[in-house]
Structure 1
Amino acid sequence: MVPISIFGFVALWSPYFFASLVALFLLYLLITVKWRDRFSGSEPLKRSELISFSVGMILVYATKGSPVDLLGHILFTMHMVQMAILLLVAAPFLIMGIPGWIWKKVFSVPVLGSVLRVMTKPVISLLLFSAMFSVYHLPLILDTIKLSLPLHAVFTITLFISALFLWWPIVNTIGVTAKLQGLHKVAYIIASAILITPACALIIFVDTPVYATYQSGESWLQAMALCVPASTLGTLASAGLSGPEVFTKMPILYDQQLGGVIMKVLQEIIYGVVLGRIFINWFRHERDNADELTKKQLLERERLSMYS
């Protein structure tokens, strides 16, 4: 097998993308620490927020800037690992990493705030993400997107934004939009798991390779141009580089099916962790507010007894 190092440093580590993320992180620190006093209603940056944002940024680079991204264009399995980590792990960490006072200012922008309030409504955000994820992995759509750098960039960013909308009702704490509580969160997570199952099932149970950009030939070489400099790719193509089979012994169909399985397994693990945290927080809330909840129940019973 040929090592992926033949693609060179730029393709493996995406230094320009790394520099962009570093600049974004420095801007985050300037706004939340150095320039914070310039904003009304600002609050000191919490350690948990800094950690969450840092983890989110590291995961974004790991999935879209490290060799994982290159492997995601060679193996469909790695593409699905990318999707799971970027959309289901990095997205909620970034939401939690941005201080609440910044989110409040974002939601206070007249037009933008109105749009965000609509898009983060639980039903809309749930259906939007599920639809975009499913459409993205239709063979015709995925192959078309992977053959165009502008389309790939626009659709990836849009899909990631839909993932932010998906997680907003679960993790936001600012109170400017409705936040799901208790069993509603559980139902929301379960519904999300169910809605993307058909897309994963089609990938898992199809008996032929369906993605032209993950097979040998011109389409695969064109798709590799998304992460490999044209000069490097041209040199390798002229040297006889033909397709993903030179990098792996895994048959294309097995790679495709394994990708669907891994996406579903990772989703279940991630959602299981989230559900566990929801149950723990719910239990703590019930325990810490037992007296208050009991009083409310007694008052409600007295009110109902007056009408019986």
Structure 2
Amino acid sequence: MPLSIFGFRALWSPYFLFFILAGIVLYFLLTKKWRHRFEGTEQVTKREVTYFLLSMLLLYVVKGSPMDLLGHILFSVHMAQMAILLLIVAPFFIIGIPDFIWKKVLSIAAIDRIVQLFTKPIISLMVFTLMFSLYHYPLILDYVKLSLVLHAVFTITLFIAALFLWWPIVNTLESQPKLHGLKKIGYVILSAILITPACSLIIFVDVPVYETYYSGEAWLKAMALCVPPGTLSGLSISGPELFTNMPTLYDQQLGGIIMKVIQELIYVVVIGKIFIQWYRDEQMNADEITKKALLDRQNLEYHN
């Protein structure tokens, strides 16, 4: 059965598209026309604009396009949404915002204290892992999917946790927590390890565990939140099996695999970039490091 039966509004989320376009307009106003209102501003770079636009495009794809509707039908698509939102959109968004805007946001003492606390490496790892694991605990996910408010709150909170996770890796502000070199690589590897148990439980469980993906009644209640009122009442549908030939268990296991594979691919790229940058920094500072080592050795010999 085609998804088109749910109508244009459910498939393309025009209100969310308007929100995305409004955010893009505001971005260019702040970085171009209103830039002089900020202290210490610099011309926004093509790199920043590109990353911001990509983050907005991907955000619409995962939360406003037919992918979002399909994510309520197939758990595997839901996990692909999560991977893109948390592992691609979040870092792209941070990189896309110029430093002078981040400085203005962080000039608010309360926000700065929150960011300083939750972007400490250990805390950011623990918060993201906890939020991701809780969100995909069967009872919690099924309950959240039946409430529009709870679903929005959990999704936004998880996205903020992803921003905290990526902040020590990609932010360029001098006053903010950040990692360098091998510490950054270790942080990324540890992040991959910590969400492995949650993905493994999804992959290796031998029964469907998410009621909103296998129970017709629960699924219809969840779908009622993402399609216009009255749409479902005029349709003769009983469950997600009408839109796919994939057994629910296979779909569930595929979801865990998709999340883990996308994460690993992204982290391999990130670690590669970190290692190359670290190697270049070491090469550029080689003479200074050698000079410091010689001075330390001379001082040691002198004291002995």
Q: Secondary structure of the equivalent of 1:17?
A: helix
1:187 is aligned to 2:186: yes
* Counterpart Cα distance in 2 of 1:119 and 1:280: 28
Corresponding residue number in structure 2 for 1:20:
19
Runs of 4+ in 1 over 6 A off after TM superposition: none
Q: In the alignment, which residue of structure 1 is the partner of 2:10?
A: 11
> Which residue number in structure 2 is paired with residue 62 of structure 1?
61
Match of residue 299 from structure 2? 303
Query: Is 1:126 aligned to 2:125, yes or no?
Result: yes
Structure 1 distance, partners of 2:47, 2:28, is: 14
Partner of 1:199: 198
Displacement of 1:228 in angstroms is: 1.0
The question of 1:268 aligning with 2:267 is answered no
Equivalent-residue separation in structure 2 for 1:301 and 1:57 (angstroms):
53
Q: 1:300 to 1:225 in 2, by over 3 A?
A: farther
Inter-partner Cα distance in structure 2 for 1:300 and 1:50: 45
Partners of 1:104 and 1:176 within 8 A in 2: no
Aligned counterpart, 2:51: 52
Say yes or no: does 1:171 pair with 2:170. Answer: yes
Equivalence for 2:83: 84
Deviations 1:205-264 (A, max 9, x none): 11100000001311101111232112212212xxx2011100000000000011101111
Q: Structure 1: how far apart are the matches of 2:62 and 2:71?
A: 9
Q: Secondary structure at the match of 1:231?
A: coil
Match of 1:208 in 2: 207
Q: Given the alignment, which residue of 290, 294, 302 partners 1:294?
A: 290
Tell me the distance in 1 between the aligned counterparts of 2:81 and 2:132.
13
Instruction: Give 1:178 shift.
Output: 2.2
- What's the offset of the Cα at 1:289? 2.1
Task: Report how far residue 176 of structure 1 moved.
Answer: 1.3
Partner Cα separation in structure 1 for residue 178 and residue 295 of structure 2: 26
Deviation at 1:276, TM superposition (A): 0.6
1:105 aligns with 104
Q: Mean Cα displacement is larger for which, 287-296 or 183-192?
A: 287-296
SS in structure 2 of the partner of residue 44 of structure 1: coil
Is this contact kept in 2: 1:193–1:268, CA < 8 A? Answer: yes
Partners of 1:281 and 1:184 lie apart in 2 by: 13
Distance 2:13 2:84 in 1: 18
Q: Partners of 1:241 and 1:297 in 2: how far apart?
A: 73
Is 2:216–2:240's contact at 8 Å kept on the other side of the alignment?
no
Q: SS of the residue aligned with 1:176?
A: coil
Higher mean C-alpha displacement, 221-230 vs 138-147: 221-230
Mean alpha-carbon deviation: is it higher for 280-289 or for 169-178? 280-289
Alignment TM-score, normalising by the size of structure 1 = 0.96
Matched positions, count: 304
1:252 aligned to which of 248, 251, 267: 248
SS of 2:230's equivalent in the other structure is: helix
Identical counterparts, % of pairs: 63
- Counterpart CA distance in 1 for 2:131 and 2:67 is 22
Aligned-partner Cα distance in 1 for 2:121–2:229? 43
Deviates more, 1:166-175 or 1:227-236: 227-236
- SS in structure 2 at match of 1:74: coil
> Match of 1:259, as an amino acid?
G
**Is residue 200–residue 261 contact of structure 1 (8 Å, CA) maintained in 2?**
yes
Look up the equivalent residue of 2:262 and give its one-letter code: L
Aligned-partner Cα distance in 2 for 1:300–1:59: 51
- Give yes or no for contact 1:216–1:242 (8 Å, CA) kept in 2: no
The 3-state SS of whatever aligns with 1:230 is coil
CA distance in 2, matches of 1:268, 1:174: 27
CA deviation string 1:29-71 (max 9, x = no partner): 1011100111222211111110110011111111111111111
Partner of residue 285 from structure 1, selected from 269, 281, 285: 281
Q: Which consecutive residues of structure 2, in runs of 5 or more, have no partner in the other structure?
A: none
Structure 1 residue 297, shift from structure 2 partner: 2.1
Q: Is the 8 A contact 2:76 2:255 kept in 1?
A: yes
Decide whether the 8 Å contact of 2:38 with 2:100 is kept in 1: no
SS at match of 1:284: helix
What is the CA RMSD across the aligned residues, in angstroms?
A: 1.0
